[in-house]
Structure 1
C-alpha cells in the first residue's frame, strides 16, 4: 500500500508527507530510509508517525496539503473527507473497508474451491480489506463444502509467524483481537452454526483459532460487518439471480471472487457484481497495471497503473493569442 501511494506521487513530481498506521510504522520507516540511501533528495518524502486523531487529523486539515490518499476503515474514511472539506477542499482518494463475496457455483471442483475460499478469507489473519468474507455456496454442493472447509480450518497451522510451516500469526493488536472475538460471540448468539474455532489460541498473544460459521443469514452482523479477522461465514444460495442480488446487497463494493467452470456464468457474475475487482477462479492476484479500488462505501478513486497517476496531477489550460493571427 505504501508503494501504491508514493510511487505515482513521486513519478508525477510531488513531495510527500506519509503518516504511518500507529500499529505498523516500522516497515514504512525502513522503506523510506532505503529510498534516501538510493539518492532521493531530502524533504521529498517525509514520514510522520503518530495517532490518527492527532497527527493524521493535522495533516488532513492542513492548508498546505494539496491532496490526500488514505487506506483504512470506512469509519475513518468519513472523518478524513470531513477534515479535508474543512480546509482547502483538497481532493481525496479512499481505499476503505469491504465485505467481499466469494461465490462458489454448482459446477465447481469442491476441493479446489474450498482451498481458494480458505485462502481468500484467512490470508494475513483475515486482516485484508478485500478478504472473501462472505462465502456463498450453491445448495447442491453446500454440505460437502462446509465439511471440507471445516476440516481445512482445523488443520490450519497457527503460531509464531517466523517459524517455518506456520500459516497464521497473531492479530495486529489487542483492540482488533477483542473486536473479532465479539463478532464471533455475536455469530453464535444470532443462531449461526459454529463449525470450528471460535476462541483464542493459548494464553499469550493475540492468536485466534481459524473460525468457520455455516447457516449464516444475510441479516446477521457476521454477514454484514467487516470483521477483519480469521472468521469465514458460509451462506447457501439457489441460483445466479438470487446470489447476485444478495452479494450486491451490501454497503461495500471492493472486490469479489467467482469460482466456476462455465464462461457464461463467469461473465454474467463479473458484469453484475458492483465491485471494483472481480477475481475468477483466483483471488488476491495483483499487478502494477491493474486498477484497484471500490464502489460505494469501499471508497472512491483507483490505485495502480495509469489510474494512479491521475490522482496526483492537476489539469491546467493555457491560452495565448498568436502574433497577427489570421482570424483578426
Structure 2
C-alpha cells in the first residue's frame, strides 16, 4: 500500500519526529540523494503558487527525480473528467502525486483510486507540508518543542487546522485567537485533544500572545475568499500581529508567517521586517521538509 500525506494527523508521533529529524539532517548536511532516481512526481495545482511549487520541484530534483506540472487549464481536469479516472491513469504514468486543490474530498478521491502516493500540497482544510516546515523552523531554535507556547492569531483556517494537528504530535501548547464565526473546525480540535493536544481557543489576541514563544498568523482572506476581503478586514480589526502584540510575548519570541503576507493587515511591516520575524527561514525550510516528506512516502526513512 502506498503512503499518503493528506494531513499531519495521518502521521504517528514516531513518523512525525522521523520526518522532522530527517529534514534537519538534509538541511544541515546540504544532502541530495537518489531516492527518486528514475521516478516522476506529477504536481497537480488547481491553486496558484510560488513557494509550494518551486520548493517541491527543486526537492524532487534534489532527490534525483523529475516533475510534470499540471493545472486545469491544460488538462482534462478542467473539462470535468471524473477525478477517479484521472487518478487511475496518472498512477500508471508516474510515481507520486503532489496536489494543491480546494476541497479535501478531492484528495481523498485521489487516494482511493491511486496506486501511488498522494501528498497534500494545500487544501482548504489542511496545509501539512507548510506546518511541518514550521515545526522545523521552531525545532532549529528550540529542540524541546513540548516546552513551547505557540499563539495563532487570526482565521481558523487550513494553517490553523494543521497547527492543531501538529500540537497533538509535537506536544507544544497552542492558543488560537480567532474572531467569532472564524473558529477552526470543532471536530479537528476535538480529535487533536483526544490525542493529547493542549489547545485553547480565545477571542482575545492579547491573551494568546501573552508569554508566547512564537506568534503565528496568516492572511485574513485566503485564495477563493477574495469576495469576503472587505468584511474580513472589518471583523479581523484588532487581530494584527504588530509591535503592541509582540510586546506581550516573551522577549525572545519569534514571529511566523507562511507567506504571502499582506503588510498592514494581518501583520505590520515593522514586525515582518523586524528581528523577531522568521518568515523567510520558514520559506527556505519548505525545500528541506518537502525532501523529507518525499523520502517518507517512498519508504526510505
Identify the structure with bigger relative contact order (alpha carbons < 8 Å, sequence gap 6+): 2
Richer in helix (by share): 2
**TM-score normalized by structure 2?**
0.34
TM-score, normalised relative to structure 1: 0.32
